[in-house]
Structures are given as structure tokens and as C-alpha cells.
Amino acid sequence: MATFLYCLCLIAPLLLFKKRDIFQPEMIVNAYFVVFIGIGPLAMQAFAPSLYLSGNYDFVLQLISLGYISLNAGFLLSKLTFNSSMISGAAQKRAATFKPTGYRSIAKLLIGIGTVFLLLFFLRAGGIPLLATNKEAARTAALENSGAGYILWLATLSMTGILLYAAIEYWNSKKYGTSPSTWIIISGIFVGIALAGTGSRRYTFWTLIYILSSFHYFRKEISFKYFIAFGLLAFLGVNLFEMYRNAGSDTTTSLLTASYYRVIVYFNNLEATFSAFQSAELMYGKTFFMDILTVLPGKQVDFQSWIKEVTGMEFEGFGVPPTIVGDLYINFGIPGVALGCFVFAYLLRSYYLRSTHPTSRSPITIVSYIMILEVAIRTLTSGISAQAMGALWVFIVLASIKISRKIFFSASNQKSGLPSFSAY
């Protein structure tokens, strides 16, 4: 009976919320949560019942249920209280008067900068980690080089450039009836494959999402059947990539084994986190700044490495992602799981409506929403603390794009003799 109620809890939001948009948080966030966190308890009960009974997994299942219900309560409240009438007139005016001038140049510049830093990453790593004999060890070693993480952040600017260029291209094609450039597809494939060379699969996945979301919002809406098909292919791709990257591991001996470990790994991480911290003092948000503080001189421990050390988990990889539920539990206990997930979902869905509503939608609002959505989805499995740097990075990149365009417009208008304020 308990298993049936848990399954109903997982499925109900996906069935009850109106399926208006595949990128609305109620759909994509819930689907990601269910596949990578929610299914974990069911898979472990079915295939490793002795393991399930050996730890605190039953209580952790209750924590997952609390977090998931709280997320959907936040989505629901936002849906009921935040509507199109709350979108400011200024936001609607910006969308109506949007001009693409300068953005293509900025996008190409971002792609160029990202490519240069990716080459620098490979140079400092002594090669391409994905092509090494021991790919996982090579990936970990590459990230342990001084400043490697920040170089990799700069390398991902190429992804941002792809997103910006795709949004402008598809917006332009819809508005003026032109055909979008094939250059964006070719560049997207190049960037996705090149970044996969770092040993991380998420770059390829999100580069595809960047292009698909731009197509969806400005060219033609993608139906749910194609969304499901893409999700299944993505899950298959994740596991095949893991089998190639970590071929010598017991967790990748077959596709079925890799798939099993993929759906239980975060559940297992959450149980280890709960067991290690259930008697410890609450952190009250201190961990939210751990990754940001790594920019300071000297030895600074990042959040996931700290979790790995505290839990005593030993493996070749980088750190332990405790999920958003585990992160909130460490900092604020059980009440924090409920309130934190609720606020997280409310803010994300409210921003979604503000950014994607037809009256306020523009290429820039879609770029900002999709970048924030990426951080939000990664937060589900890694925690708020692990994505604090990612959130800060998104803010810096979006602000830099805005400032760059102001400079571009100012220079262009001075050449043409127009006043600089004419850009707005």
C-alpha cells in the first residue's frame, strides 16, 4: 500500500498540471526529479531489498516525498497567484520593441571565447580526458589542476553563445518568415561534442536543450510525444556515455546495470548524507557559500568534496551530490526541506511565467529562463550549495551580455550620428 501511495505521489503532478509547455517547471522539473531521484527507492526495493533494509532508506523515502510534494505546492501556488496581469508594462514594451541588432556578434564572440578556453583546458590537462585510457581518472585529474574549474566555466561560454544565437535566429525567422541559418546547428553539434571531451556528458545534453528550447519558443512548439522520445534517448545516451567513460567499473557492466545505478545513485547519496548528519548541528545556510568561497586564496574545500569526506564515501569521482533534499536537510532540518523546496519551486515557476508569456517573451527572456532552468535542474540532484556558483555565473554572464550590447549600440549609433538612447 505504501509503495502504491508513493507511486501515486510521483505520478499525480505530471497528470494533474495542465500540459501547456514542455519547458514549464511542472513538467520538466518534475520529470527530472521522478527519473533521477523518485524512482530510486522503487528500484532499490525491487533489485536490492537487503540494501534497502540495511540503512535509513525508508525514512529517506519519506524525505523525498516531502520534498516532491513541497515542490509541487510551490508550483501550484505560483500558478494560482502569479498571472499575466502581474507582468509589468515595461516588460511587455521591451518584448514588443525588441531589436536583435548586435546579439549575433555577441553570440559569436562568446562561442569564440569559450572555444579558446576549452583548448586551454585540454592543454593544461595534457590531452582530452574522454580519449584517455582511464577516462574517469583523467577527468578528475584535469579538474584538480589549479584554476581548472574556472577555465571550464569560461569554456561553457560557447554554450551560452549557441543559446543566444539560436534564440535570435528562430525569433528572426518567425517574425520575418525567413529560414534559420544552418550555421547554428553545425556550431551546436561542434560545441556539444567538443565540451563532451572534458569527460562530462551534461554539456552535450544542455547544448541540445538550448537549441530545442529556442526552436520551441520561436519557431514551432515541440509536442509532448517528441519530448518523451527525447527524454528516453537522453537517458539512454547518459548511460551509454557512462559505460564508455567508466568502462572498468562494476556499475557499467551492462546497459541494465548502468541504468539501475543511474536511478539509485542520488537516493543512495541522500541516505549517506542523512546518516552522516542526522545527529549533527544544523548548518543554517553556511554551506551555501562554500563553493563561492573557493575563489579565495589558499586551500578551500568545495561543497560536494566536503560531503564526500563527511560521509566517508570512497570512489574515483569528484564529490558527492546530496540532492536538494539532502542540502536543505543539512542546513535547516526537516522543516527546511519543506519550506526550501516550496520557495524554490514558487520562484522558478513565477520567473518562468514572466519570461515565457507571449506578451513579455523575447530572445533575451528565453535565454535567461533556460539558463536559470539549467541551474535549477542541476540543483535537484546536487543541491543549492553546489549550484550557488552556477547561479552567480548565470547572473554575471547575463549582465555581461546586457552591458556588451549597450556598448555595441553606443558605438554603432555614434558612427551613424544617432543619439545613443535610440537603442531603447
Residue 422 within any structural domain of the chain: no
Question: Got the DSSP string for 186-229?
Answer: HHHHHHHHHHHTTT-SHHHHHHHHHHHHHHHHHT-PPPHHHHHH
Residue 317 per-residue DSSP state: S
Residue 387 within any structural domain of the chain: no
95 and 133 belong to one structural domain: yes
Rounded to an integer, the average pLDDT of 341-367 is 95
152 and 233 belong to one structural domain: yes
Confidence of residue 422 (pLDDT cuts 50, 70, 90): very low
93 and 214 belong to one structural domain: yes
What is the span of the domain harbouring residue 148? Answer: 87-248
43 and 80 belong to one structural domain: yes
Domain boundary among 307, 342, 377: 342
Euclidean distance between CA atoms 28 and 166, whole angstroms: 21
Residue 350 within any structural domain of the chain: no
Domain count, the chain: 2
The amino acid sitting at 412 is S
Instruction: Give residue-wise pLDDT tens across range 142-152.
Output: 888 888 888 99
Instruction: Give residue-wise pLDDT tens across range 108-141.
Output: 999 999 999 999 999 999 999 998 888 878 888 8
Judged against a pLDDT cut of 90, whether residue 375 lies above it is answered with yes
CA distances from 292 to 49, 142, 150, 172 (A): 39, 20, 11, 38
Percent of the chain with pLDDT over 70: 95
The amino acid sitting at 307 is I
Euclidean distance between CA atoms 8 and 15, whole angstroms: 10
105 and 232 belong to one structural domain: yes
Euclidean distance between CA atoms 83 and 285, whole angstroms: 31
The residue behind cell 578556453 is 117
The pLDDT score that the predictor gives to residue 262 is: 94
Residue 383 within any structural domain of the chain: no
167 and 46 belong to one structural domain: no
137 and 231 belong to one structural domain: yes
105 and 68 belong to one structural domain: no
Confidence of residue 423 (pLDDT cuts 50, 70, 90): very low
The pLDDT score that the predictor gives to residue 254 is: 93
Instruction: Give residue-wise pLDDT tens across range 171-208.
Output: 988 877 777 778 888 999 999 999 999 999 899 999 99
Question: Is the pLDDT higher at 299 or at 93?
Answer: 93
The residue behind cell 544542455 is 206
Domain boundary among 189, 215, 248: 248
Question: What 3-state class would DSSP assign to 17?
Answer: coil
51 and 119 belong to one structural domain: no
140 and 287 belong to one structural domain: no
Residue 20 within any structural domain of the chain: yes
Residue 260 within any structural domain of the chain: no
Residue 278 within any structural domain of the chain: yes
71 and 103 belong to one structural domain: no
Euclidean distance between CA atoms 371 and 395, whole angstroms: 10
Confidence of residue 419 (pLDDT cuts 50, 70, 90): very low
Domain boundary among 288, 320, 342: 342
Residue 386 within any structural domain of the chain: no
Give the up-direction half-sphere exposure of residue 49: CA atoms within 13 A in the CB hemisphere: 1
113 and 201 belong to one structural domain: yes
